[in-house]
């Protein structure tokens, strides 16, 4: 678990929170690959070695950055229904990273450096909601993994290099459909308008709602089987 160092009394204008905040600004502006502690120190107007008073190395700071983004996902004012609450948190999760797209690779494209206190609280709360929804532990475990994988895939679409602000995604779908040979891919052709809309909006709620609708159906079926005495296992 990443730890925050104590503030340096010799440099009252410099502290861990400021390092993390400016690091997020730099990562958003220049990208994660080019981010360095030397560049951070330069932006802060501090000596190169002064940063190491607060963090052990680049990975340590990036773990704090990731935990800061995860900590910005509010767990307040959630719907009473636990699955609706999971949907709300998932949408807030996407919004938190979409607001700082340079940080998306920290979660979506590489192993998480280390889970911090904010991230631990967030995912523990999600798991608790799924359990409160009446799902068995094995379903909760598989759902948690599936939901995280879906969110990772969705966030990739928000990466600056994959979603150019001037690219017309709907037009790209039209071009693909127009290039298909006559009679080819009739099912894809039938989805033309819906595909245009889906790639243009990149709304996370559609996939999240589908996942949770499946969970409701699965839970209700198991509940019905239990009441009737039927064993649902193969």
Express each pLDDT in 40-93 by its tens digit: 999 999 888 889 999 999 999 999 999 999 999 999 999 999 999 999 999 999
Nearest CA-CA partner of 37 in 28, 29, 47: 47
- Whole-angstrom Cα distance, residue 20 to residue 16? 6
Tokens encoding 146: 């599936």
pLDDT above 80 (res 9): no
The pTM for the full model equals 0.79
Residues 106 and 53 in one domain: no
**Per-residue confidence (pLDDT) for residue 27, from 0 to 100:** 95
Among 79, 66, 77, CA closest to 118 = 66
Which of 37, 70, 103 represents a domain boundary (last residue)?
70
CATH number for the domain including 220?
Answer: 1.10.357.10
Assigned token pair, 34: 């080019």
Q: Which residue has the higher pLDDT, 73 or 195?
A: 73
Has residue 10 got a pLDDT over 70? no
CATH of the domain at 54: 1.10.10.60
Structure tokens at 87: 């949907």
Structure tokens at 181: 């040979």
115 vs 17, residue with greater confidence: 17
Phi, psi (degrees; rounded to nearest 5) at 207: -65, -40
- How many domains does the structure of the chain reveal? 2
Domain that holds residue 132: 76-228
Count other Cβ atoms within 10 Å, centred on residue 126.
23
In a domain, 8, yes or no: no
Q: Say whether pLDDT at 216 is over 50.
A: yes
98 with 194, same domain: the answer is yes
**Which DSSP symbol is given to 52?**
G
More confidently predicted of 48 and 9: 48
| Residue 7 included in any domain | no
Q: Give dist(CA 8, CA 19) in Å, integer.
A: 12
Comparison of pLDDT for 167 and 176, the residue scoring more:
176
60 plus 137 within the same structural domain: no
Burial 203-230 (b: 16+ CB within 10 A, else e): ebeebbbebbeebeeebeebeeeeeeee
């Amino acid at each position: 678990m990443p730890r925050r160092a104590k503030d340096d009394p010799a440099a009252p204008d410099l502290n861990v929170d400021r390092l993390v905040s400016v690091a997020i600004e730099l990562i958003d502006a220049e990208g994660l690959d080019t981010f360095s502690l030397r560049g951070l120190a330069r932006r802060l107007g501090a000596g190169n070695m002064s940063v190491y008073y607060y963090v052990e190395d680049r990975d340590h700071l990036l773990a704090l950055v990731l935990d800061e983004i995860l900590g910005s996902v509010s767990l307040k004012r959630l719907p009473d229904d636990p699955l609706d609450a999971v949907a709300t948190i998932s949408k807030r999760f996407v919004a938190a990273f979409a607001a700082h797209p340079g940080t998306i690779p920290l979660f979506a494209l590489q192993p998480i450096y280390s889970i911090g206190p904010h991230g631990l609280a967030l995912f523990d709360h999600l798991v608790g909601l799924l359990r409160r929804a009446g799902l068995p532990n094995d379903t909760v475990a598989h759902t948690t993994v599936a939901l995280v994988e879906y969110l990772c895939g969705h966030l990739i679409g928000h990466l600056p290099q994959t979603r150019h602000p001037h690219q017309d995604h709907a037009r790209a779908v039209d071009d693909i459909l127009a290039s298909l040979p006559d009679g080819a891919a009739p099912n894809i052709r039938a989805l033309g308008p819906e595909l245009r809309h889906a790639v243009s909006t990149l709304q996370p709620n559609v996939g999240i709602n589908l996942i949770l609708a499946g969970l409701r159906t699965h839970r209700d079926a198991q509940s019905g089987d239990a009441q009737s005495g039927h064993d649902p296992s193969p």
